[in-house]
Amino acid sequence: MTAQNIVGTLADSVRLRVFSAIVLGATTPPDAARAAGTTPKETAAAVRRLLAGGLVTEDGGALHADLAHVKAAARRGPDTEAPGPGAGPDASLLRTFVVEGRLRSLPGQLERRRVVLGHLARASFEPGRTYDEPAVNDLLRAWCEGAGTDHVAVRRYLIELQILDRGEGSYWLRDDTAQRA
54-106 pLDDT, tens digit each: 888 998 889 998 888 778 777 765 533 344 445 566 788 888 888 777 888 88
Cα separation of 141 and 118, whole Å?
Answer: 16
Same fold, 3-73 and 84-178: yes
**CATH number 1.10.3470 is the correct assignment for the domain at 84-178:** no
User: Is the separation of the CB atoms in 112 and 93 below 8 Å?
Assistant: yes
Q: How many residues does the chain have?
A: 181
Q: Per-domain residue ranges for the chain?
A: 3-73, 84-178
Q: What is the pTM (predicted TM-score) of this model?
A: 0.55
Cα separation of 42 and 48, whole Å?
Answer: 10
Q: Domain 3-73: give its CATH architecture.
A: Orthogonal Bundle (1.10)
49-64 pLDDT, tens digit each: 888 888 889 988 899 9
User: Is the separation of the CB atoms in 117 and 154 below 8 Å?
Assistant: yes
Neighbouring-strand partners of residue 65? 56
List of residues 6+ apart from 142 with CB closer than 8 A: 8, 9, 11, 49
